[in-house]
Amino acid sequence: MSAALNANTVIREVAKDVWIFSTPFKRFNTIPFGGRSTAIKMKNGDVWVLASTPLNDVTKSKLAELGPVKWIVGADAVHYMFLSEFKKEYPSAKVIAVDAAQANIKDGLAFDGAWGRDPPDTKYGFESDVQHCYFSGFKNKDVAFFHPASKSLIEADLLFNLPATEQYSKTNESGTVPFLSSVFYPTSWLQKKANWGMGDDKEAMKRDVKTTLGWDFERIIPCHGDVIEENAKEAWRSAFEAFL
């Protein structure tokens, strides 16, 4: 693992028992979207991880402090690149991801549970701490997660909050793209247009947007862009207003 990746990782406890691991990431090696994994220490001491960034040395060190990793979660069809890496390091952990990502896994990694494959009401074992809503009508087959104890909603591609300031804060780059970063945030026309376009099944989207709006969250932790600490529910509602 490169020293640069360790040095560029920003690790922060955003709420009690909720840790984020923010790293630089460029889509198409051009657009600085930023990347982020999120770890939650559950009430029983186990650790739940949304694995969306490389498992570098500083990440492993912090996870070791938190407790045993029991859940490795993939948030959608395209956030699968690091699942095998995490599973290799934590072989006893269960991998729960979306079925649409399975075809992209080339090393034989098997999912212990899969949204889109399992019955919609399937319980995976972490629901007492982390709730989930599978957006079956979204093109990337995303799952939104809710941690009631910290009032945090965690997600991957359902909402962007650019520029990726925190994720690039330890680099010599700004994390900003002219034009794009100024218009790709929750209340922007581009976010609303993108969500509408990514909604393949409008009725399913309407159902799942309403489900997530029923959660009592005050914070949004996205994989791409900065954490939203204020007016989070208003931001979520604005991003999906076309379905309401």
pLDDT tops 70 at residue 219: yes
Residue-wise pLDDT for 82-109, tens only, equals 999 999 999 999 999 999 999 999 898 9
**If pLDDT is split at 50, 70 and 90, which confidence band does 65 have?**
very high
Compare 6 and 242 and report the one with higher pLDDT: 242
Give the pLDDT confidence score for residue 70 in this predicted structure.
98
**If pLDDT is split at 50, 70 and 90, which confidence band does 7 have?**
confident
Instruction: Name the residue among 6, 1, 3, 9 with its Cα closest to residue 166.
Output: 9
Give the pLDDT confidence score for residue 184 in this predicted structure.
79
Residue-wise pLDDT for 168-217, tens only, equals 999 887 767 666 656 678 988 999 999 999 999 999 999 999 999 999 99
**If pLDDT is split at 50, 70 and 90, which confidence band does 1 have?**
very low
Query: Element (H or E) spanning 23, and its range?
Result: strand 18-23
Per the prediction, the chain carries an average pLDDT of 93
Q: Where are the domains of the chain?
A: 3-114+127-243
Give the pLDDT confidence score for residue 37 in this predicted structure.
98
**Which residue matches tokens 């040395």?**
57
Cβ neighbours of residue 137 under 8 Å, at least 6 residues apart?
Answer: 199, 200, 201, 202, 203, 204, 205, 207, 208
Give the pLDDT confidence score for residue 30 in this predicted structure.
66
Contact 44, 232 (CB under 8 A): no
Give the CATH H-level superfamily of domain 3-114+127-243: Ribonuclease Z/Hydroxyacylglutathione hydrolase-like (3.60.15.10)
pLDDT tops 70 at residue 77: yes
- Average of per-residue pLDDT across 127-156: 98
Give the distance, in angstroms, between the CA of residue 89 and the centroid of all CA atoms in the same chain.
20
Among left, alpha and beta (phi > 0; psi -120 to 50; other), residue 99 is alpha
- Average of per-residue pLDDT across 15-25: 95
CA distance 209 to 146: 13
Instruction: Name the residue among 116, 110, 93, 76 with its Cα closest to residue 42.
Output: 93
- Average of per-residue pLDDT across 97-124: 95
